Structure 1
Amino acid sequence: MIAVLEFLKEHRKKILIIIFVIVLIRFINLVGRDRDYNRFEGLIIDLLKPGFVVVNSIEEFSKGTFRVILDYKSVKEENEKLKDKVENLNYNLKQIEKIMLENHRLRELLNFKEFAPYKVVGGSVIGHSSENWSNVLVIDRGSKAGIRRKMPVVAKNGYLLGITQQVTAHTAQILLINDGNFVAGGLVQRKDSRDLGVIKGQTQESRLLMNNLAWDADIRVGDTIVTSGSQYYPKGLPIGKVISVSPDNYGLTQAALIAPFIDVRRVEEVLVITDFSTKVDLLEPLNSDHQLEGERE
Structure 2
Amino acid sequence: MLIKPLFSHGPVPGYRMLLCAIVAFALMFAEHRFSRMEDLRAQMTTVVAPIQWAVSVPSDVLTWGSLALSDQRALVDENRRLREQLLTLSHRVQRMASLTAENVRLRELLNAAGQTEMPYITAELLSLDSDPFTHQMVIDRGRRDGAYVGQPVMDASGLVGQITAVSAYSSRVLMLADANHAMPVQVNRNGLRFIVQGSGRYDTLNVMHVPDTADIREGDLLITSGLAGRFPAGYPVARVSEVAHDPGQPFARVTAAPVAQLQRSRHFLLLFPPPTIEPEPGDRLWDETFSIIEPPLELMQ
Of 229, 232, 235 in structure 1, the residue corresponding to residue 230 of structure 2 is 232
Question: Which of 190, 193, 203 is the aligned partner of 1:196?
Answer: 193
Measured at CA, do residues 259 and 116 of structure 1 come closer, stay the same or move farther in structure 2, by a change above 3 Å?
A: farther
The answer (yes or no) to whether the contact 2:231–2:273 under 8 Å persists in 1 is no
Q: Partner amino acid for 2:149?
A: R
| CA apart distance, 1:215 | 3.0
C-alpha distance in 1 between matches for 2:173 and 2:244:
31
Distance in 2 (CA, whole Å) between partners of 1:248 and 1:186 is 23
Unaligned 5+ segments in structure 1 are: 1-114, 280-297
Q: What does residue 152 of structure 1 align with?
A: 152
Cα offset, 1:119, TM superposition: 1.8
2: distance between equivalents of 1:182 and 1:213? 18
CA deviation map 1:246-282 (0-9, x unaligned): 2479622233110111221111111111223499xxx
Change over 3 Å in CA distance of 1:168–1:244 after alignment to 2: same
Structure 2 match to 1:173: 172
| Paired position in structure 2 for 1:139 | 139
| Cα separation, 1, equivalents of 2:223 and 2:258 | 10
2:267 matched residue in structure 1: 269
Which stretch of the first structure deviates more once superposed, 255-264 or 164-173? 255-264
**Percent identity over the alignment?**
25
Q: Greater relative contact order: 1 or 2 (C-alpha under 8 angstroms, separation 6 or more)?
A: 1
- CA distance in 2: counterparts of 1:205 and 1:265, whole angstroms: 7
User: What TM-score does the superposition give when structure 1 sets the normalisation length?
Assistant: 0.51
**Contact (CA 8 Å) 1:195, 1:213: kept in 2 or not?**
no
Q: Helix, strand or coil for the counterpart of 1:163?
A: strand
Is 2:199 aligned against 1:208?
Answer: no
The 1-side partners of 2:247 and 2:230 are apart by 28
1:169 to 1:221, Cα distance in 2 relative to 1, 3 A: same
How far apart are 1:213 and its partner, in Å?
Answer: 2.0
Alignment match, 1:294: none
2:165 is equivalent to residue 187 of structure 1: no
With over 3 angstroms needed to count, the CA separation of the structure-2 counterparts of 1:249 and 1:199, relative to structure 1, is farther
Work out the CA distance in 2 between the residues paired with 1:149 and 1:187.
24
Matched with 1:67 is none
Contact 2:121 2:269 in 1 (8 A): yes
Please say if residues 202 and 263 of structure 2, whose CA atoms lie closer than 8 Å, have aligned partners that are also in contact: no
CA contact (8 A) 1:214 1:253 kept: yes
Asked if residue 243 in structure 1 is aligned to residue 246 in structure 2, the reply is no
Residue 137 of structure 1: how far off its partner (Å): 0.8
RMSD: 2.1
Q: TM-score scaled by structure 2?
A: 0.50
Q: Does the 8 A contact of 1:166 with 1:173 survive in 2?
A: yes
Provide runs of 4+ in structure 1 moved above 3 Å.
247-250, 276-279
In structure 2, the gaps of 5 or more residues are 1-114, 278-301
1:144 is paired with a residue whose SS is helix
SS in 2 for 1:156: coil
Q: Offset of 1:216 from its aligned partner?
A: 2.0
TM-aligned CA deviation for residue 218 of structure 1: 0.5
- Deviations along 1:144-195, one digit per CA (max 9) or x if unpaired, are 11111011111004x00001011001100100110111101121100xx211
Q: Deviations over 1:63-99 (max 9, x none)?
A: xxxxxxxxxxxxxxxxxxxxxxxxxxxxxxxxxxxxx
